[in-house]
């Protein structure tokens, strides 16, 4: 299970979250507003971390029933209309 913290708690404990190994969901009023994914300094570890984050994101999106093709299409439309 992914750790979830409020934005105030996240700001207060940022130093601890930076040194952590797992991604953290940052919430505001109980709604996830972003993800913090700590990245190790080692290049190979960075690539592995990004792959791990991508896999976690895929899992979360699938659990929520999000169709990534629809998200991309909506983004393209919003960008075009901006």
Average pLDDT of 35-42? Answer: 82
Residues 29 and 66 occupy one common structural domain: no
Residues 45 and 73 occupy one common structural domain: yes
pLDDT given for residue 82 in this prediction: 77
pTM for the model stands at: 0.50
Q: How confident is the model at residue 51 (pLDDT cuts 50, 70, 90)?
A: very high
Residues 45 and 82 occupy one common structural domain: yes
Q: Are 40 and 49 in contact (CB under 8 A)?
A: yes
Average pLDDT of 9-25? Answer: 91
Residues 30 and 47 occupy one common structural domain: no
The domain tally of the chain equals 2
41 pLDDT more than 90? no
Domain range for 13: 1-38
């Amino acid at each position: 299970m992914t750790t979830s913290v409020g934005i105030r708690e996240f700001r207060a404990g940022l130093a601890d979250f930076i040194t952590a190994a797992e991604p953290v969901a940052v919430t505001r009023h109980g709604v996830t507003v972003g993800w913090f994914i700590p990245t190790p300094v080692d290049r190979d570890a960075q690539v592995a971390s990004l792959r791990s984050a991508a896999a976690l994101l895929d899992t979360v999106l699938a659990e929520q029933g999000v169709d990534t093709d629809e998200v991309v299409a909506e983004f393209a439309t919003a960008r075009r209309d901006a």
